[in-house]
Amino acid sequence: MAIEIQTPSTWQQYRTLLGKDLRREFRTREMLTSMGMYALLVLVVYGAALSQTSHSFDILQMSGGLLWAVIIFTSLLGLNRSFAHEKENGCLDGLLLVPLDRSVIFLAKATSNFLFMIVVELITVPLFAFFFLSTSPADTWPLIITPLLIGTVGIAGIGTLLSTITVNTRGKDVLLAVLFIPLIFPLLYACVSATTVALVGGDVEAIYMNALLLAGGYDVVMLLLSWVLYDFVVSA
Amino acid sequence: MNTVLEQIYATILPSAPFVIAAYALMWCALVVYVIYMTVKLKRTEAQMAVMEESLKKIDAEKNNASDRA
Amino acid sequence: MTQQMKRARESAGARCDRYAPLILGIGAILSTLGFILAFTLAAPVNGAAVDGTELIGDQMVSNQLLFSQKIFYFHMPVAITSFVAIGVAAFYGIRFLMTHRACYDMRGRVASEIALVFVIMVMCSGEMWERFEWGVWWTWEPRLTTYFILMLLVFGYFILRAAVDDPERRATYASVFSIVTFVDVPICFMITRLVPSGVHPTIFRSDSGLSPDMLIPLLLAMFGMFCIAFGVYRLRLRCAQLDVRLEALKERLDD
């Protein structure tokens, strides 16, 4: 009599891997708290950096850039931590023993990184507005949600690929920063321009849509490339 | 020279050092790379020579050993 | 691999090595010719307008004649060559990931070194041109910024190689990174069409803005630079192969 072994589908594997990451995070809440504290402390540093500006200084022009700088620095921290766990407990080796398509690991990791980043941004953006945006932004300010989403997707995708590479090297954190920041730069530029134009007002339509198209295109290309290359990277 | 001709040629002399510097720097970068390659090559050749010396010594020892045996 | 294929591959490498110095020489001659023609044949470009008109040669000139634009005749070919070198490195990265043969990793590394040299050349000449033309040492202009990012990516490639110990892992990571670096090259090339800027006009349009007397030195310099890059690449590859043979010898001698 033949025994039927049911291999789980890709979607089920994805859900299991994602659930593992989310469950671990909700049990310890370690990464979220450290990322949240880090974002808060970067805002404090901003306070010191901007303390000498005159009262007539229009911080609204810089606000998009400052916000995205916080997000980038926090994501560098979070990306490193997410893979450090896997390596310490030998979880990655265990995963590699399972006969699955290794790009599913990439999807699950990228999604969990994306969700953590979104949670941190939900905390950081209101804090940023509270601390620095004393002059109220333009009416189009809800439009910053889309650049935040698109940018975070890109950061999660590229960051997952790069953190898988750098977790196995000497000088892990610094190397991640060295490799990550040039790759994320076009995305950062587009998202900063979209966010700034949404906060400051002015000629919103043209600049906003152009910037989002650029960011979205870059996202798609980088995510596809990371998906395809992830198998080679994680098997090395 | 009348003033118009002076104006037309006004930027040439100030720009000359920059143009020369640009081409010179480009050429220097290539030359530096070629020098770096040559230095590495010489070092490798020196190590090759050392290898060959030790190989010769080992061969001589083997011959001595087989002669005595 | 069969003996025949091995012999064919080795003779292809030997033929390349035999012709490499010749190609290097051709490259040097072509680029020198381009250099001379850039100053003698190509007409000077017009700058800002002046107050009057003068008859120079057989043309009525009413603008300042720019000498600093002559940097362009080497600046652009070197930039194109650096893009090609990064493309070659990405190609060998893909080949390595497909076959896991160390020879492709070595070729990828040498191609990246060549790319680094040419990127530095572009940054130097661009810096000199910018300093004179616009009086500042740097602007955050789209093409300058994207090219600077490309330079940082090539630096990052070498930093990544230095940080990994295991050879196979190092080769895999380096190949992946060189493929990702190549994604920035089309962005660099097309950025002036997407984001208009004052400093870098678009050159290769359908109605090309270049007259033949400017095109000739440019093309000569470009092919000269390609030949120089290929010649230097082959020479450096021979050095790298010699290093590998030396290491193998050392291992055997230690036993």
C62-113 pLDDT per residue, tens: 767 777 777 888 888 899 999 999 999 999 999 999 999 989 999 999 999 9
d(CA B18, CA B26): 12
Confidence of residue B7 (pLDDT cuts 50, 70, 90): confident
Counting the structural domains of chain B, the total is 1
pLDDT for res B1: 60
d(CA A123, CA A19): 23
Distance from CA of C62 to the nearest CA of B (A): 7
Distance from CA of B69 to the nearest CA of C (A): 23
Distance from CA of A84 to the nearest CA of C (A): 17
Mark A40-72 as b/e (b = at least 16 C-beta within 10 Å): eebbeebeeeeeeeeeeeeebebbbebbbebbb
pLDDT of C249 strictly over 80: yes
Burial class (CB in 10 A: 0-12, 13-18, 19+), C90: buried
pLDDT for res C97: 93
pLDDT of C196 strictly over 70: no
User: Which residue bears the tokens 């050879």?
Assistant: C167
Which alpha helices (DSSP H) does B1-69 contain, by range? 3-8, 12-68
Closest CA to C181 of A155, A183, A181, A159: A183
Q: Which of residues 32-91 of C touch B (CB under 8 A)?
A: 35, 47, 50-54, 56, 61, 63-68, 70-71, 74-75, 78
Give me the total of CB pairs closer than 8 Å, taking one residue from chain B and one from chain C. 105
- Which residues on C lie below 8 Å from B47 (Cβ)? 246
Confidence of residue C203 (pLDDT cuts 50, 70, 90): low
Name C46's bridge partners.
Answer: C65
Written as one string, the DSSP assignment of C133-183 is: HHSSS----HHHHHHHHHHHHHHHHHHHHHH--SHHHHHHHHHHHHHHHHT
Containing structural domain, residue B28 = 3-68
CATH class of C17-254: mainly alpha
Residues of chain A with pLDDT under 70: 1, 204
| ipTM (interface pTM) | 0.88
Left if phi > 0, otherwise alpha if psi is -120 to 50, otherwise beta: which for A202?
A: left
Distance from CA of B26 to the nearest CA of C (A): 5
**CB nearest to B18's CB, from C65, C120, C131:** C131
Confidence of residue C206 (pLDDT cuts 50, 70, 90): very low
Q: Would you call C206 helix, strand, or coil by DSSP?
A: coil
d(CA B32, CA C217): 25
pLDDT for res C207: 47
C102 touching chain B per CB within 8 A:
no
pLDDT for res C66: 74
Closest CA to C34 of B26, B33, B11: B26
User: Which residue bears the tokens 């043979």?
Assistant: C245
**CB-based contact B51:C250 (threshold 8 Å):** yes
**All residues at 6 or more sequence positions from C73 whose CB lies less than 8 Å from its CB, including other chains:** C34, C35, C38, C42, C214, C217, C218, C221
Three-class HEC string of chain A: CCCCCCCCCHHHHHHHHHHHHHHHHHHHCHHHHHHHHHHHHHHHHHHHHCCCCCCCCCCHHHHHHHHHHHHHHHHHHHHHHHHHHHHHCCHHHHHHHCCCCCHHHHHHHHHHHHHHHHHHHHHHHHHHHHHHCCCCCCCCHHHHHHHHHHHHHHHHHHHHHHHHHHCCCCCHHHHHHHHHHHHHHHHHHHHHHHHHHHHHCCCHHHHHHHHHHHHHHHHHHHHHHHHHHHHHHHHC
pLDDT of B24 strictly over 80: yes
pLDDT of C168 strictly over 50: yes
Name C63's bridge partners.
Answer: C49
**CB-based contact A155:A71 (threshold 8 Å):** yes
- Which residues on A lie below 8 Å from C178 (Cβ)? none
pLDDT for res A234: 87
Closest CA to A77 of A30, A127, A122, A123: A30
pLDDT of B11 strictly over 80: no
pLDDT digits (tens, 9 = 90+) for B28-53: 999 999 999 999 999 998 988 888 88
Report CB contact under 8 Å: C117, B11: no
User: Which residue bears the tokens 């049911």?
Assistant: A6
pLDDT of C210 strictly over 70: no
Q: Would you call B27 helix, strand, or coil by DSSP?
A: helix
pLDDT for res C205: 52
Percent of chain C exceeding pLDDT 70 equals 85
- Which residues on A lie below 8 Å from C160 (Cβ)? 165, 169, 175, 179
d(CA A45, CA A50): 9
pLDDT for res A140: 74
> What are the distances in angstroms from CA C120 to CA A185, C79, C117, C148, C150?
20, 10, 5, 10, 11
Burial class (CB in 10 A: 0-12, 13-18, 19+), A182: buried
d(CA C149, CA C236): 26
pLDDT digits (tens, 9 = 90+) for C123-148: 988 888 888 777 777 777 778 888 99
Q: What integer is the mean pLDDT of C217-241? A: 89
pLDDT for res C217: 83
The 10 Å Cβ neighbour count of residue C120 is 21
pLDDT for res C199: 63
Q: Would you call C64 helix, strand, or coil by DSSP?
A: strand
**CB nearest to A175's CB, from C163, C175, C183:** C163
Closest CA to A189 of A72, A75, A40: A72
Q: Is the pTM of this model over 0.90?
A: no
Q: In whole numbers, what is the pLDDT of chain C averaged over residues?
A: 83
**CB-based contact A130:A79 (threshold 8 Å):** no
pLDDT for res C58: 67
User: Which residue bears the tokens 């290097």?
Assistant: C24
Distance from CA of B61 to the nearest CA of C (A): 14
Q: What integer is the mean pLDDT of C217-234? A: 88
**Mutate: best of B6, B13, B15, partner C, most C CBs <10 A:** B15
**Which of the pair, C220 or C136, is modelled with greater confidence?**
C220
pLDDT for res A215: 92
How far is CA C63 from its chain centroid? 33
Confidence of residue C121 (pLDDT cuts 50, 70, 90): very high
Chains A and C touch, contact meaning at least 3 pairs of CB atoms under 8 angstroms apart: yes
